[in-house]
Amino acid sequence: MIKKRKIAIIGAGISGLSVGYYLKKNKNIDLDIFESTSIPGGVLSSERINDCVIEWGARGIRPSGKGEITLQIVKEIGIFNDLVFSSESSRKRYLYHNGKLNLVPFSIQSIIKSPYLKLIISSIFKDLLSKSVNSDESIYSFFERHIGQKSTNLFIDSLISGIWAGNIKTMSVKAAFPELKKREKKFGSIILSQLFANRSNTKSQFSKKITSKALFSFKNGMQDLCNGLSDKLVDNISYMSEVSDIKIDKKIKINVNNKDFFYDHVVSTIPSYSLSKIVDLKLSKILQQFNYSSIAVYNIIIPKNTFNFDGFGFLVPSSEKSIVLGVIANSNTFIEHSSKFFESYTIMLGGERYSYDFLSKIDIRKISLQFLKKVFKTEVIVKEDSLRIIRNAIPQYDLNHYKKINKLEKLNIKNFHIGGNYLSGVALKDIIFNSRELANKILFNC
């Protein structure tokens, strides 16, 4: 008989759950997952308030490309019938710029009608004449070279604020957009690289009707995915189980709730700042170098049609000097997430420019509602609301990002593995893809 290998996963967020899911497929694995809280999912969590679904983390996953890996999991764990797909209006994204909402072009027709038409044309010509740079550079430097300063400060600055709550002048383009940087080396132009690189000969196992959608979620929000995975791992997860110490040797000793356990392999999927507190000094010093931004997330339930707004949401460029990063019209995206009489909006504030302490001291509710009134020119009647200020919410991929990862790799620890969104991708489809790769690597080493 083949001896079962004992593996522990620290953290039952989406990274830990998906690594665990792939590991459990191997019958020769004895798996334990330790979660310090009472529920799975980590920052990926959903609530139903007044029969509207609100999200505290990501609100959906793109079904194309790597997103198909998540769709396959959804199918395997039996929650495919709980999927909901975004409406066509969710393709409309706006910028709040110069005191008004402006549609971000998403089709040829919308480009022609766009107030940004001249800017877009000049950006296209600049990109087609652009040459590649081999070395890493800031997101600002990369896009300024390709599409110009104005387009970068308007479109790219807003995009990075919306995804990372980050700063385009300090973040690494190679870390944040690795595929784009690779394609630039081959094609020079971003536009040409997108045109040619998007032609794939790989046949999708899912219909075009599914993969052509902008996003997918679930009837009760993204928490359904966490619950579905945790149900498959119910015999493996221990909740309210705090890991306070890790000793790495041939057998790794971890202390959980003041009890010692020994494993052949241990996987950490908790944030770098949490892991740094429970490992040896050499590893801890590297982990402490990863930076995060804090954000405030304010969810409101309001009467339907309060705002005459037809899109996914809008972002706010940093040039507007607003603490608001963006606003998401949740019920416009997934119609199933609204009720008969009410709909939900999410206001995101803070980011790299503001500390957690600053966010904790200001009146988030008042600032948010005043901002909405300014944008939509109407009073906001809030039926219910909920606010969270999330410390160290989103990792920041700075210009030294790959140097930090190289330092981790040089430690060459064969039986201790690190996963999570602070390494190589903050989008859910990237996190789940990377979790699958990590699980395969561990199984190979076993």
Tokens 């999991």, residue? 73
- What pLDDT does residue 139 have? 97
Q: What is the mean pLDDT of the chain?
A: 94
Tens digit of each residue's pLDDT (9 = 90 or more) over 18-60: 999 999 999 899 999 999 999 999 989 999 999 999 999 999 9
- What pLDDT does residue 60 have? 94
pLDDT(200) > 90: no
pLDDT(339) > 70: yes
pLDDT tier for residue 9 given thresholds of 50, 70 and 90:
very high
Q: Cα–Cα distances in Å, from 388 out to 40, 313, 376?
A: 18, 20, 24
The C-alpha atoms of residue 369 and residue 380 are separated, in whole angstroms, by 7
Ordered structural domains, the chain, with CATH: 5-42+224-289+400-445 (3.50.50.60), 110-197 (1.10.3110.10)
For residue 245, which of 233, 223, 260 has the smallest C-alpha distance?
A: 260
Tokens 């405030």, residue? 296
Q: Is the pTM of this model over 0.75?
A: yes
The lowest-confidence range among 64-73, 144-153, 204-213, 321-330 is: 204-213
Tokens 């392999």, residue? 265
List strand residue ranges (DSSP E) for 41-192, in order.
Answer: 46-49, 52-55, 83-85, 93-97, 100-104
pLDDT(198) > 80: no
Token readout for 195 is 């045109």
Helix 190-197 / helix 117-128 crossing angle, nearest 10 deg: 80
For residue 105, which of 92, 123, 87, 118 has the smallest C-alpha distance?
A: 92
Cβ neighbors of 9 (< 8 A, separation 6 or more) are 16, 19, 20, 23, 31, 32, 33, 34, 266, 267, 268, 269
In the chain, the amino acid numbered 108 is: I
Looking at the DSSP bridge assignments, the partners of residue 30 are: 6
Q: Are strands 83-85 and 46-49 parallel, antiparallel or unpaired?
A: unpaired
CA atoms 20, 23, 24, 28: torsion sign: negative
The lowest-confidence range among 61-75, 203-217, 232-246, 396-410 is: 203-217
pLDDT(129) > 80: yes
Tokens 């798996």, residue? 31
Tens digit of each residue's pLDDT (9 = 90 or more) over 274-290: 999 999 999 999 999 99
Cβ neighbors of 28 (< 8 A, separation 6 or more) are 2, 3, 4, 5, 446
Is 389:356 a contact under the CB 8 Å cutoff?
yes
In the chain, the amino acid numbered 304 is: K
pLDDT tier for residue 2 given thresholds of 50, 70 and 90:
low
- What pLDDT does residue 259 have? 98
Q: What angle do CA 349, 350, 353 make, to 5 degrees?
A: 150
The C-alpha atoms of residue 117 and residue 300 are separated, in whole angstroms, by 34
Q: How far apart are the first and last CA of the chain?
A: 15
For residue 34, which of 222, 254, 307 has the smallest C-alpha distance?
A: 254
pLDDT(386) > 80: yes
List strand residue ranges (DSSP E) for 209-280, in order.
Answer: 216-218, 237-238, 243-247, 252-256, 259-263, 265-268
Is 9:34 a contact under the CB 8 Å cutoff?
yes
In the chain, the amino acid numbered 350 is: G
Question: How many beta carbons lie within 10 A of that of residue 283, not counting itself?
Answer: 20
